[in-house]
Structure 1
Amino acid sequence: MTGWTWEYEGYEPADERLRESLCTLGNGYFATRGALPECSADDVHYPGTYVAGCYNRLTSDVAGRRVENEDLVNVPNWLPLRFRLRGRPWLTPDTATVLEHRLVLHLSSGVLERLTSYGLGNGRALTVRQERLVHMADPHLAALRTEFTADGFSGELHVEAALDGGVTNAGVERYRDLDGHHLTHEHAGTAEHDTVWLRCRTRTSDIRIGMASRLTADAPVTIRHARPRTTQRTRLQLVPGRPATVDKTVAVYTSRDPAISDPLYAAVARVGRAPAFDELLRSHRTAWAQLWRRADLDVPGEAGSILRLHLFHVLQTLSPHTADLDVGVPARGLHGEAYRGHVFWDELFVLPFLNLHFPEVSRALLRYRHRRLEQACTAALNAGRRGAMYPWQSGSDGREETQQLHLNPRSGRWLPDHSHLQHHVGSAIAYNVWQYCEASGDTEFRHTKAAEMLLQIARFWADAARYDKVLGRYRIRGVVGPDEYHDAYPDAQQPGLNDNAYTNVTASWVLTRTLELLHGLPEPRRRELAERTGLDDEELDLWDEISRTLHVPFHEGVISQFDGYGDLAELDWHRYRQEYGDIRRLDRILEAEDDTVNRYQASKQADVLMLGYLFAPEELQGLFARLGLWLDEETWQRTVDYYLHRTSHGSTLSGLVHGWILTRARRAEAWQFVQEALRGDIADVQGGTTGEGIHLGAMAGTLDLVQRGLTGLETREGALWLDPVPLPELSSYGLSLRYQGNWGVRLRLRHGRLEITVPSSDETPIDVRLPGRAVRLEPGETGRLLLPE
């Protein structure tokens, strides 16, 4: 890697899936994996294309049960472009001699460059150079330029380009027992002499998909339709040393798009208007340059290069084009089919970064949640609860999409999945709503959609809490926390745990913040809300009481992950590391041994410690104080130590959270976890998972680690609060922010000195608060502050 490129040398079939994920190109509307255009889907290659929000639901027979799953659909493949010499087989790196192979991902311009030299025998070679883009200015366009250069021979090269509707969802091996045939009614046709089209629809969601392709070459183009493909062919006359070029331009629309009458008509019309490749490339580069300015993050060295790659993939999944869509935050980006493209709680790690660069995107992602508020209220009602019970996994319409069964690849057994009990997703949504409003100053959203969501989430927690006369406190039973390993007590007949500390503390926070928001509403708006929801003072008084008396268990002087955690057996960590090496998925190892992780003090990822990720030390102490509990620095440090030694880090989020916490708790150990978070996907530390899609939350979280974690940045009480921590390995960095209408606020930390520049504008001054100091900066002003040792 270099500062602005990501490169792979040589052809390595075992690495192709990983490279395809990390070389995915997208624009927030759709994305295409970095597969080689001449290769079809097989055990090595997987050329997937995914349109944001395009889901389909199918039912499969699994382990003797009928199981329904909704998936992000692998739409028709626009990439195919293969080539051969006359009378010879099609050339691929798996079947021909590869003399040279190089992939270069240009982060600054969003272009994937590929160069392959095929050996043809007798000193002859064919060099193939390609440039690929998924257009960042026009979200419906993509283009592929291919240059063929002959070395040591002249002759005719046959080139075939296609749109392929015969694709399935088959990118994740453990899902292959499930039905992955999502497309039907494939039809193809010709629009112009150089343009073909393909249309189809999804089988149950009935989303119509239109795709059109224009092929430009220095030779005549012929067309052949053979359902489910449409093919364009040309014959190039190659002369040694003289490149022959073929350009393929594609447009994609679906019936979910606004301002169209028909997706096929829109695709044909758009590709017909599209300029030549050079002009497309120019406007594409300009759009990317604008994004980089708005999301500028300047970190030196290897860490900076990795962070830039992470930012690149965040922007490809959630760009300004996302602001026009009804979509959530897919946990694995638009890069693959793991988790079936579902929306979990990963926005908790993504929105805090977007809030300070692309607040319009954050608002759209929260609108996705608001549009599904009624569905969440229906789910709560069906469960015998009031308020809104948001699903752990969400897709098209907001119903619970968590699978009923999951496969343990170690044992080959299908097991019940109880992760739908992770009701803390509601608190994550409330947290994101609050953070967005604080960072953006969006009063209209705060008074309307934010108030409506927080009210119903708070109502759910209040109704879920039950008073325990013995404890004299409220308790929340039958949940699963962020850890995910523990979904029941040992030998229990029913799933669920009692008084998960993270769940209860965040529920208290939701109730407190909702009361604060409601009390701050204009009286007419508050009356409207109360009339529509049946809210009264008695209910608000109950919320206040519960927010102060929720039970948070302790044991051995540390916060218990849940009630009874301290009674579980200790795991022989040394034995399992000696025997298995990588024990990140300890739950699968134990289940294959006919044991269960529910018996042990062993966590998959940060659970209690997530509290230190969400809340600054002072705020976390205040939350415990409201609950009538004492949480001093010594108790928190003991809690951090306790769980550090009992966590297997089976999630890419775990290293991120631990690194974030240790930057303030124990800086000497923080860098190890920060590095793990940075390398999670590029090194595929989970062993094959990155090839199924990148981990978007972890990528965005590393960006936010610099933006908020190291700077101690908070947006509250109408001010920017800063409390930088000196992490030696990342002691110099710069970033720009968009804060409450002020574009391009620049922060730079260097050698213990903090510099803040507010660009000239007609906006109001920014109040900056540091420990023991307050500064007001006018637009056009720069503040330089010396930080304490």
Structure 2
Amino acid sequence: MTRWLLRYDGFDPAQEQLREALCALGNGRFVTRAAAPESRADGVHYPGTYVAGVVNRLVDEIDGHRIENESIVNLPDWQSLTFRLDGGDWLDLSALTVCDYVQELDLRRGVLTRRFVVEDGQGRRTKVGQRRLVSMAAPCLAALDCTIEAVNWSGPVTVRSGLDGRVTNCGVARYRGLSGRHLLPAETGLGDDGVLTLVTETSQSRMRIALAARQRVLVDGAPVDVPAARVDEPGFVAVDLTVDLAAGQVATVQKLIGLCTSRDRGIGEPGEAAVDEIARAGDFDTVLARHELTWSYLWRRCDVQMDPQGRASVTLRLHVFHLLQTISHHSIDLDVGIPARGLHGEAYRGHVFWDEMFVLPFYNLRLPEVARAMLLYRWRRLPQARAAARAIGRRGAMFPWQSGASGREESQTRHLNPKSGRWLPDNSARQRHIGLAVAYNTWRYYEATGDVGFLAQYGAEVILDVATFFADLATYDPADDRYDICGVMGPDEYHDALPGREEPGLDDNAYTNVLAAWTLGRALDCLDILTEQRRHELMDLLDLGQLDLERWGHVSRKLRLCWHGDGILSQFRGYEDLEEFDWAGYRDRYGDISRLDRILEAEGDSTNRYKVSKQADVLMLFQLLTADELYAVLDRLDYRHDPESIPRTIGYYLDRTCHGSTLSKVVHSWVLARSNRDKAWGYFLDALDSDIADVQGGTTGEGIHLGAMAGTIDLLQRGFTGLETRKDALWLDPYLPDLLASMRFRIRYRHHPEVEVTINHDRLTVGGSRQRAAVLPVRIREAEYRLDPRGSLEIPLQRRHG
């Protein structure tokens, strides 16, 4: 690694799918995995291209149950390109001697380079270089070039450049027993101008996908005319381009791609649109130059610099890179959400979970127009969420744990335990807290941007509907004068029922109840912010009256929280009666116990019996809410607490969490950032390694973990800096770990186009944009300042220990 390069030396088949995900290229509209252009899906390589929003639904039968799954669709492979010498075998690295193999991802430029030398059985050595990009400047364009140097031979070389529609969804091992053929047979063509075309359609959602490819051949840098011989196979079209080389000569084939779908705006028929895209794009160098320029603009806004430089710094930039490739300015008009595994593979079938809680803080403070678009994805699906609430006899809106195209619940009803081979009931749809996440994200966006127009037109409606649902979901216990929320799951997916209880679900999950109380308070705040006219419109639209508002106030003051020994906040009612777990024994027996649920189920046991957590649950509260906000909720609920209750609760659950989710160590680092900086830094580094080191043993190759990537960035920008956006001011309370010498980043706060923040252990500098803008109120620790946008503030910091 260098400051901007992720480099792999040597070809390693066992690591290929991990590299394909980590070196994938995208632009917020589509992403293409970094599979070798000469490859097909074969257990080593897995070519995959995924367009945001292009999904399809297939049906299977499992154990007598009819199962429907909506999946993001693996689209035809546009990268397909290979070569052979003098009519011999096509390029196959496993059959050749390979040396000097390098794969290099340039994060600054968004370009993937691959270089190697191969020697065949006749002793002919060929030097190969390839570059790839998915254009950040033009959302429908991608490009590839391949140079072939005849090191010690002379003769003909044939390059085959194709569009391969013979693809299926088979990139996740546990899904391979289920249907994966989403595309209907493709129509292919070769125009008089040498442009290849392939058009196909999804089998159920009826989305049309079109690819067009234009090839250009150069010898020693000079363009040459080469006859194109058409190659046709079912679902595959290609051209063979043959040139004669002398020893030392170099042939280059440049391939420019247009990819259009029937979901795109501003086009006609997708096939014609794809051809038009490459017709007006210019040559490879022009496309590359515009792509690099756009990335330079993005990095100016979005880079997060940290000292010391090294692996951690580059990994952090890799995380920023993949965020921007999954969601960018090209995502704004697509009506898509934030997929938990990016657009980098087929894990979780491309579904939208709650990862936006970790992702949106990055966009709120840099690309708020993109964050706004992601929130509108939820707003547009309010009708489906309302229907889901009505289906269980409740008012308001019940958002799905897993969301897709329509906003219906896409969570599995059964899942496979690969350790036991058994299909088991899946109750994860009971994670009703997803609606609280949607409301939370909406409010935090408003705090960061001051976008009252969005709140009035869209955001308040979402928050009020979520509040209505949770107020209605709560049931009153007159004996204790408390409200209970029953039959739910918290973020910790290791508990979906109490031992011995036949019905799934838990009662009074602390995370759910605290966030519900907080959300009800924010719903009342929304009504205060809106104009009187808009407030009446919304209350009429949502059928809300004064009695509803009174119930919100009552529920927000009376939700039950459960506590056990020493003022520990219980994860749910009955948690204190669970058994302690034999952590040491199971670590000795299994080593990696991050997936205890699978281990125990294979033994005929269940995590429901034990005080174990897959990931942070109660501790999430200490990340999402400031201490002041959390204490305000507890005060409102009339629960006594003391300053030591938070650290005691944190310590209790730290000892009982096995980190089966990549999000878990992000949260643990956050909650320790103020009390144990060394341990927080250790968790931060662990979280950074989640994908690049594939700590979960093969999962990253199926798609990156976008929430964990975003969470590491947020740890730096907010967790270690104490950055908050509330009460119309920018708040900072730095508390850097000892091994983090300094950091620097730019943000956009409300109407201030650029604020640059530089922090080390001794000094904090906040710089303005030097443009005409209002004076910005800044609170640094306990002191108040006002930042003139034409200047900067330099504030000495007193070192803290801990």
Fold agreement, TM-score > 0.5: yes
Q: Equivalences for 1:599-748 in 2 at 5 Å?
A: 599-748=609-758
Percent identity between matched residues is 51
Match of 1:249 among 243, 256, 271: 256
Q: d(CA) in 1 for partners of 2:670 and 2:562? A: 24
Contact 1:53/1:396, CA 8 A, preserved across alignment: yes
Contact 1:187/1:227, CA 8 A, preserved across alignment: no
Q: Which amino acid aligns with 1:493?
A: E
Q: d(CA) in 2 for partners of 1:698 and 1:85? A: 45
The answer to whether the aligner puts 1:473 opposite 2:490 as a matched pair is no
CA deviations 1:203-242 (Å, max 9, x no partner) are 0000111110111113222223333111111012122222
**Residue of structure 2 in register with 1:104 after alignment:** 104
Contact 1:426/1:457, CA 8 A, preserved across alignment: yes
Shift of 1:740: 1.0
**Residue of structure 2 in register with 1:56 after alignment:** 56
Unaligned 5+ segments in structure 1 are none
Contact 2:96/2:121, CA 8 A, preserved across alignment: no
Contact 1:621/1:632, CA 8 A, preserved across alignment: no
**Residue of structure 1 in register with 2:394 after alignment:** 385
**Residue of structure 2 in register with 1:460 after alignment:** 469
**Residue of structure 2 in register with 1:585 after alignment:** 595
What is the count of residue pairs matched by the alignment? 789
**Residue of structure 2 in register with 1:12 after alignment:** 12
Shift of 1:122: 5.0
**Residue of structure 2 in register with 1:285 after alignment:** 292
What is the SS of the residue equivalent to 2:88?
coil
Shift of 1:121: 3.9
**Residue of structure 2 in register with 1:573 after alignment:** 583
Q: d(CA) in 1 for partners of 2:739 and 2:789? A: 32
Q: Which amino acid aligns with 2:272?
A: Y
Q: d(CA) in 2 for partners of 1:329 and 1:766? A: 31
Q: Which amino acid aligns with 1:366?
A: L
Q: d(CA) in 2 for partners of 1:407 and 1:577? A: 23
C-alpha distance 192-136 of structure 1, shift in aligned 2 (>3 A): farther
Shift of 1:491: 2.1
Q: d(CA) in 1 for partners of 2:290 and 2:641? A: 54
What is the SS of the residue equivalent to 1:729?
coil
**Residue of structure 1 in register with 2:230 after alignment:** 223
CA deviations 1:338-371 (Å, max 9, x no partner) are 0000000000000011100000100000000000
Match of 2:502 among 484, 493, 496: 493
Shift of 1:440: 1.2
Q: d(CA) in 1 for partners of 2:288 and 2:678? A: 46
Q: Which amino acid aligns with 1:46?
A: Y
Q: d(CA) in 1 for partners of 2:511 and 2:717? A: 24
Q: d(CA) in 2 for partners of 1:283 and 1:192? A: 28
The answer to whether the aligner puts 1:539 opposite 2:548 as a matched pair is yes
CA deviations 1:454-508 (Å, max 9, x no partner) are 0100000000000112221100000000001100111211100000000000000
What is the SS of the residue equivalent to 2:497?
coil
Q: Which amino acid aligns with 2:763?
A: R
Q: d(CA) in 2 for partners of 1:751 and 1:507? A: 37
Match of 2:339 among 310, 330, 336: 330
Contact 1:16/1:44, CA 8 A, preserved across alignment: yes
**Residue of structure 2 in register with 1:84 after alignment:** 84
Match of 1:374 among 380, 383, 389: 383
**Residue of structure 2 in register with 1:423 after alignment:** 432
Q: d(CA) in 2 for partners of 1:484 and 1:321? A: 34
The answer to whether the aligner puts 1:183 opposite 2:183 as a matched pair is yes
Match of 2:412 among 403, 416, 419: 403
Shift of 1:73: 0.5
Contact 1:326/1:364, CA 8 A, preserved across alignment: yes
Q: d(CA) in 2 for partners of 1:192 and 1:370? A: 47
**Residue of structure 2 in register with 1:74 after alignment:** 74
Structure 1 outlier segments of 4+, above 4 Å:
none
**Residue of structure 1 in register with 2:221 after alignment:** none
CA deviations 1:492-540 (Å, max 9, x no partner) are 1110000000000000011000101112211011111112111111110
Match of 1:437 among 428, 443, 446: 446
Q: Equivalences for 1:164-175 in 2 at 5 Å?
A: 164-175=164-175
**Residue of structure 1 in register with 2:220 after alignment:** none
Q: Which amino acid aligns with 1:238?
A: L
Contact 1:3/1:304, CA 8 A, preserved across alignment: yes
Match of 2:789 among 779, 782, 787: 779
**Residue of structure 2 in register with 1:296 after alignment:** 303
Q: d(CA) in 1 for partners of 2:643 and 2:690? A: 30
Answer with 627-636 or 240-249: which moved more: 627-636
Q: Which amino acid aligns with 1:48?
A: G
Q: d(CA) in 2 for partners of 1:213 and 1:668? A: 53
Q: Which amino acid aligns with 1:296?
A: D
CA deviations 1:126-156 (Å, max 9, x no partner) are 1110000000000100000100011111111
CA deviations 1:737-781 (Å, max 9, x no partner) are 011132221000023210000112222111111232111112111
Q: Which amino acid aligns with 1:237?
A: D
Q: Equivalences for 1:298-313 in 2 at 5 Å?
A: 298-300=305-307, 301=309, 302-313=311-322
The answer to whether the aligner puts 1:560 opposite 2:570 as a matched pair is yes
Contact 2:761/2:797, CA 8 A, preserved across alignment: no
Indicate the RMSD between aligned Cα atoms, in angstroms: 1.0
Unaligned 5+ segments in structure 2 are 218-223
Contact 1:62/1:177, CA 8 A, preserved across alignment: no
Q: d(CA) in 1 for partners of 2:739 and 2:621? A: 25
Q: d(CA) in 2 for partners of 1:151 and 1:196? A: 31
CA deviations 1:406-428 (Å, max 9, x no partner) are 11010011111000000100111
Q: Which amino acid aligns with 1:276?
A: D
Contact 1:189/1:225, CA 8 A, preserved across alignment: no
Contact 1:188/1:227, CA 8 A, preserved across alignment: no
Q: Which amino acid aligns with 2:91?
A: L
Q: d(CA) in 1 for partners of 2:239 and 2:179? A: 31
What is the SS of the residue equivalent to 1:100?
strand
The answer to whether the aligner puts 1:597 opposite 2:607 as a matched pair is yes
Shift of 1:665: 2.6
Q: d(CA) in 1 for partners of 2:673 and 2:727? A: 25
What is the SS of the residue equivalent to 1:36?
coil
Q: d(CA) in 1 for partners of 2:96 and 2:458? A: 58
Q: d(CA) in 2 for partners of 1:494 and 1:665? A: 40
CA deviations 1:95-145 (Å, max 9, x no partner) are 222122110000000000000211124542111100000000001000001
CA deviations 1:275-322 (Å, max 9, x no partner) are 111111100100000000011211122321110010000000011111
Q: Equivalences for 1:76-155 in 2 at 5 Å?
A: 76-121=76-121, 123-155=123-155
Contact 2:303/2:320, CA 8 A, preserved across alignment: no
Contact 1:118/1:127, CA 8 A, preserved across alignment: yes
Q: Which amino acid aligns with 1:77?
A: D
Shift of 1:630: 2.6
Q: d(CA) in 1 for partners of 2:359 and 2:502? A: 37
Contact 2:157/2:244, CA 8 A, preserved across alignment: yes
What is the SS of the residue equivalent to 1:669?
helix
